[in-house]
A = this chain, B = another copy of it.
Amino acid sequence: MLNFSDCHKIIEAKLSQLGIAGKKPVELYEPISYFLRLGGKRIRPVSSLLACNLFSDDVTSAIKPALAIEVFHNFTLVHDDIMDNATLRRNKPTVHAKWNDNIAILSGDAMQIVAYQLLGDAKPKLLKSLLTIFNTTALEVCEGQQYDMNFASLDNVSLNDYLHMIELKTSVLLATSLKIGALCGGAPEKEAQKLYEFGRNLGIAFQIKDDYLDVYADQDLFGKTVGGDIAENKKTFLFLKALELAKGEHAAILKRAINNEFTNVSEKIDMIRKVYNELTIPQITCNKIAEFSEKAFEFLADVRVKESRKVNLLEMAQKLINREK
C-alpha cells in the first residue's frame, strides 16, 4: 500500500515529465512549467492515488486523471492570482507578476487544455463518466470563485452563503479527486460517491481550518502573516460567525472594520481577535471543523473495503485537519 509520501513522489515525477518544457512558443509554455514547479502539497492528486489504492494495488490507471486534476487546480490558481491581484504564491512571483496579465490568461487557458489532454488518457471505458464528473466540478469551481469575488462587495453574506462558496471553490475538487481515483481503482459508483462525500466534508473542514489558522496560528510556524484575513476584511467563517453573534460594543468594532475606520492594522487585528475570543469564536470554529471532519470520517468508515486499507487516507485527513500551518 502507498502512503502520502509515496504518492507525492509519483505525482512530482510525472508532473516533471509532462512534455511541456521546451515547447514553443516559450511565452506560452514556460509559465506553465514554472508554475507547476512551484510545488505545493499536491493534496488532490495524492488523494486520487490513495483512493484508487483503496480498491486496487495498482494505481497506474489513476495517475493521468490525478495529474489532470492537479494541472486544472494550478490553472485556476494562475487565473485567480490575476483576479485577486496577488503577486506572490509559495513565496515566488505569480505568473502575471513575473510575466504579464496576457501571458497569465493565455498560459492558464492552455493549462486547462493540458488538463483535458491528461484526462483523455483515462481508461476508455471510464472516459465518459470521468469527463462528466470533472466538467461538473470544474464549472462549480468557477462558480465558487465568482461567489468569492461577489462577496468582497456584499455586506449581507450569510454563513450559509459562505459555506456554499467554499464548498464550490475548494471542496468539490478534493471530492472529485477522491471519486475519480476510486473509479479508476474499480470502485462501484456507490462506493466512489462515499469518497466524494468524504472529500466534500473534509474540504469544507480544511477551508474553515484555513480561516482559523489565519487568526490563531503560531506566527513562528505559519508561512503567512497571522491576521492577514482580518487586515484585508476578508469574509471568513470566523468573521461572519462573529457578525452573526455580535451585539453592542462587539458589533460596533466589527462595523468599524467593515467601514475601514481602523488606521492601525495591528490594533485592528488585536481588537477583532479580542471580539472573536469574547464571542467564543475559536471554540465555535473548532466545533464546526470537528463537525465536518466527523461527517467526512463517517463516509470513509462506510466504504466497503478492509479497514486496514484506509489507514493512509485517514492519516492524510487527520494531518489536514490537525495541521498548525
Contacts and interface: CB of A to CB of B under 8 A. Distances in A.
Contacts of A101: 82, 101
Nearest to A135: B117
Given A83-B105, A105-B105, A106-B146, A120 B113 contact: no
B142 A109 contact: yes
A189 to B, nearest CB: 17
A240 interface: no
Interface stretch (A52-60, A123-131, A248-256): A123-131
B128 A113 contact: no
A84 to B, nearest CB: 9
Given A109-B79, A143-B28, A146-B25, A120 B116 contact: no
Interface in A101-158: 101-102, 105-106, 108-110, 112-114, 116-117, 120, 124, 127-128, 131-132, 135, 138-139, 142-143, 145-147, 149-150
A244 interface: no
Nearest to A168: B25
As for how many copies of this chain the complex holds, the number is 2
Given A25-B146, A79-B105, A143-B28, A113 B138 contact: yes
A27 interface: yes
Contacts of A28: 142-143, 146
Contacts of A128: 120, 124, 127
Contacts of A83: 102, 105-106
Interface string A259-280: 0000000000000000000000
Given A106-B146, A108-B109, A113-B139, 7 more contacts: A79-B109, A82-B101, A102-B149, A106-B142, A110-B143, A117-B132, A127-B128
A19 to B, nearest CB: 12
Contacts of A102: 82-83, 149
A28 B76 CA distance: 15
A25 B113 contact: no
Contacts of A147: 25
The 3 A-B residue pairs with the shortest CB-CB distance in the complex, in nearest-first order: A28-B146, A110-B142, A83-B102
Nearest to A138: B113
A101 B117 CA distance: 27
A215 to B, nearest CB: 27
